[in-house]
Amino acid sequence: MDNAFYYETHIGKIGIVENGTAITHIYFGEILTKDINIIETSLLKKANQQLQEYFTGKRKHFDLPLAPQGTEFQRKVWAALQDIPYGATYSYKDVAENVGNIKACRAVGMANNRNPIPLFIPCHRVIGANGSLVGYAGGLDIKKKLLETERQNA
């Protein structure tokens, strides 16, 4: 059974879920499920510590075991997202190029949308080709705050 714990951050309450060995999900706000133990494990404490360091600009890279579940293509996109430098933004086209399929912009967008571990897999760093903020699981206000936090601390 998975474990989760909720933490208050400057972007609101965040739920972090782990499976005993790796982080599997991040939720904005609370999740209600019978299949998750609400308990703070050492891995969840470490994840929260790194998240708090990220928010203050002390951490630019996360060092956590991650286990996102998805298709091979989704996992490839999520790996590419982790290569986007702190404080930088890429377009969907940039990510498509990085995964080896320039025509996969929409598929990259869908993989971005299905990212189960936002923040640790920084899908907030992907923006529209014209520089506009488009789509984010936590809402565009949170995406904007995350990008501003990174710009201020880069």
Per-residue pLDDT of the chain (154 residues; tens, 9 = 90+): 899 999 999 899 999 999 999 999 999 987 767 789 999 999 999 999 999 999 999 999 999 999 999 999 999 999 999 999 999 999 999 999 999 998 999 999 999 999 999 999 999 999 988 887 877 777 788 899 999 999 998 7
* Residue 90, pLDDT score: 95
pTM: 0.91
Which domains, from first to last, does the chain contain? 2-56 (no CATH), 72-153 (1.10.10.10)
pLDDT tens-place string over residues 47-86: 999 999 999 999 999 999 999 999 999 999 999 999 999 9
Q: What is the dihedral of CA 7, 8, 10, 11, to 10 degrees?
A: 70
* Residue 146, pLDDT score: 93
- Catalytic annotation, residues: 123
Among 19, 100, 32, 114, smallest CA distance to 67 is for 19
Sorted by sequence, the CB contacts under 8 Å of residue 81 that are 6+ apart come out as 95, 112, 115, 121, 122, 123, 125, 126
Using DSSP's 3-state secondary structure scheme, residue 23 falls into: strand
Retrieve residue 56's tokens.
């203050």
* Residue 26, pLDDT score: 95
